[in-house]
């Protein structure tokens, strides 16, 4: 990024909040090491500390590794040759370079170790090759980042245009006719919500220890949600209604332009609010967990698991969660409360199961309020489902494109 366009580097600093990405990444690795037992994570964290100039902690790590396992002793030799000790002679340096290449995958950490060791033994060709690999990988990642920023910019522009068009024409935003407050009683609504939220969790907890396969776990999690749709549909049929009528599903073709406009406005507001929340969190010192807002499975699991998790996140979760938290919970709260109290309470209960830190929870809370108000104004869950899905698509793309 530093070697790219000037405005691009400034934008990157605004979005990421600092000039020292190595220091920030070392803090992420501190949290990662607390969650997993991995010698490579220890090595990565120590290298990042060295790259950000924290020599004292690097020397402490090397001293600790010397008395550890064979893998730790090997790491101590690598880091000492690259950063901490006297420069190795040429023969030893080339041996260490060969060790690094055989033991580590071809990534930034391996290339950086090789480049540092090669520089200390005067092997300019090996150093140049490692630095060229780092630059090539960096350019590829920068290209992906540009595509993601372009996507966000297009969505923001579309949201602004949709909002401006709606304000200019003022045609109204209703796309369906879901009854709010709903036709059911508060007792029936709360019973359906509790059953819809609790039963899938019980089913999943009972089956996950038996299956122990990430891809199958994702499929079972989605299957466990299916009874909710059956219970709600059966309840509404007994009252002479349907899910389509009760929640404004499948709006007519004449409502599609308004539906698309509302969804784009919701997406744009969510993108802006997330950026503001992130910036405000950095100003007041609120730090999020390194994996706050996404599943670590997206980074390391097999491709089949990635596809299953992505489908769950992008398609299934928006449908299930909008039906449960907006259709059932918000709708039932509206039987007793006004729009904004109902939106806030339902959004707060929506944020709790996500288990994010303060900034992530606030982001989910804001989204929950937006989607509840959208349901009230449009009388349809579909705009919220589309915006929910779009938010999850963007989050998944960021992780897969830049971190996987």
Q: pLDDT tens digit string along 158-173?
A: 999 999 988 887 778 8
Look at residues 180, 175, 228, 172 and name the one whose alpha carbon lies nearest to residue 200: 228
Stretch among 15-29, 140-154, 328-342, 374-388 having the lowest mean pLDDT:
15-29
- How many distinct structural domains can be found in the chain? 2
Condensed to tens digits (0 to 9), the pLDDT of residues 123-159 reads 999 999 999 999 999 999 989 989 998 999 999 999 9
Same domain, 249 and 336: yes
162, part of any domain: no
Same domain membership, residue 186 and residue 109:
no
Greatest C-alpha distance within the chain? 85
Give the whole-angstrom CA distance, residue 133 versus residue 359: 36
Position 166 in a domain: no
What is the separation, in whole angstroms, between the first and last Cα of the chain? Answer: 19
The pLDDT assigned to 210 comes to: 63
Cβ count near 235 (within 10 Å): 18
Q: Give the residue-averaged pLDDT of 22-36.
A: 83
Reported as a pLDDT band with limits 50, 70 and 90, residue 369 is: very high
State the chain's mean pLDDT as an integer.
Answer: 88
In a domain, 165, yes or no: no
208 band by pLDDT with thresholds 50, 70 and 90: low
Residue with tokens 């899905």: 389
Name the nearest CA neighbour of 189 among 66, 61, 305, 332.
332
Q: Is the pLDDT of residue 212 over 70?
A: no
Confirm whether 96 is domain-assigned: yes
Please indicate, yes or no, whether the overall pTM of this predicted structure exceeds 0.85: yes
CA-CA distance, 280 to 366, in Å (whole number)?
14
Same domain for 100 and 199, yes or no, is no
Report yes or no on 149 lying in a domain: no
Instruction: Read off the pLDDT of residues 79-124 as tens digits, 9 standing for 90 and up.
Output: 999 998 788 999 999 999 999 999 999 999 999 999 999 999 999 9
> By residue range, what is the domain housing residue 129?
6-139
Domain-embedded: residue 147: no
């Amino acid at each position: 990024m530093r070697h790219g366009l000037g405005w691009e580097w400034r934008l990157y600093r605004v979005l990421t909040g600092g000039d020292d990405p190595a220091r920030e990444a070392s803090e992420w690795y501190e949290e990662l090491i607390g969650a997993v037992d991995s010698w490579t994570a220890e090595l990565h964290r120590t290298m990042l500390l060295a790259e950000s100039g924290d020599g004292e902690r690097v020397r402490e790590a090397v001293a600790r590794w010397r008395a550890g396992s064979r893998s730790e002793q090997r790491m101590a030799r690598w880091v000492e040759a690259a950063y901490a000790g006297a420069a190795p002679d040429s023969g030893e340096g080339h041996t260490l370079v060969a060790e690094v290449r055989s033991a580590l995958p071809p990534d930034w950490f391996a290339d950086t170790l090789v480049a540092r060791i090669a520089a200390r033994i005067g092997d300019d060709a090996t150093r140049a090759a490692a630095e060229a690999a780092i630059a090539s990988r960096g350019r590829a990642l920068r290209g992906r980042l540009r595509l993601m920023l372009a996507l966000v910019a297009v969505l923001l522009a579309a949201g602004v245009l949709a909002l401006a068009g709606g304000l200019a024409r003022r045609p109204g935003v209703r796309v369906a006719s879901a009854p709010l407050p709903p036709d059911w009683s508060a007792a029936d609504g709360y019973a359906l919500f509790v059953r819809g939220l609790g039963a899938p969790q019980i089913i999943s907890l009972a089956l996950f220890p038996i299956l122990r396969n990430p891809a199958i776990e994702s499929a079972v999690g989605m299957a466990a949600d299916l009874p909710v749709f059956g219970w709600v549909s059966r309840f509404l049929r007994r009252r002479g209604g349907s899910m389509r009528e009760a929640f404004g599903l499948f709006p007519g073709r004449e409502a599609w332009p308004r539906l698309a406009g509302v969804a784009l406005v919701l997406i744009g507001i969510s993108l802006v609010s997330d950026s503001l929340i992130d910036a405000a969190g950095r100003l007041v010192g609120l730090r999020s967990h390194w994996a706050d807002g996404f599943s670590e499975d997206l980074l390391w699991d097999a491709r089949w698991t990635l596809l299953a998790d992505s489908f769950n996140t992008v398609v299934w979760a928006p449908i299930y969660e909008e039906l449960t938290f907006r259709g059932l919970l918000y709708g039932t709260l509206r039987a007793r409360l006004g729009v904004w109290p109902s939106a806030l309470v339902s959004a707060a209960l929506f944020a709790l199961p996500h288990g994010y830190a303060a900034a992530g929870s606030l982001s989910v809370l804001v989204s929950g309020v937006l989607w509840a108000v959208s349901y009230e104004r449009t009388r349809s869950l579909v705009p919220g489902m589309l915006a929910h899905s779009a938010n999850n698509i963007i989050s998944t793309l960021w992780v897969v494109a830049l971190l996987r």
